[in-house]
Amino acid sequence: MAEFPPELRYLKTHEWAKLDGEHVIVGISDHAQDALGDVVYVELPEVDSRCSAGDEVAVVESVKAASDIYALVSGTIVEVNTTLEDAPETVNDAPYSDGWFFKVKVDDPTQLDSLLSANDYQKICEAEAH
């Protein structure tokens, strides 16, 4: 059964966001990593690059498919998870902790208010399964 941590916000495209001070940490959900299967490669964005909410900023590849990763907020990429370059399977093992993708210095933290709650995201995932 997939986990849906209530402190996170989500996109229907299966990314999650966590506000950490002035930064937003971004990754993919447990549901997404499970659907993808074994992650074999992650293409991360460039540090110091700008992104707008909805931009394609990274790619995750698995044994089944390649999927774009979208920015949930507008801002500047301040850090990427370089662990994923040598150990992309970390996304499968710990999607909400060590498997994060990048951090954004967010322009406006209230952008998170427009994202899905854990409960709403879980309903979308359950509907997809049927």
What is the pTM assigned to this prediction?
0.95
What pLDDT does 130 receive? 76
| pLDDT, averaged in runs of 10, over the chain (130 residues) | 92 96 96 95 98 96 95 97 97 97 96 96 90
Q: Which whole-number Å values give the CA distances from 67 to 14, 23, 35, 105, in the listed order? A: 10, 24, 11, 23
What pLDDT does 2 receive? 84
Phi first, then psi: what are they for 94, rounded to 5°? -150, 65
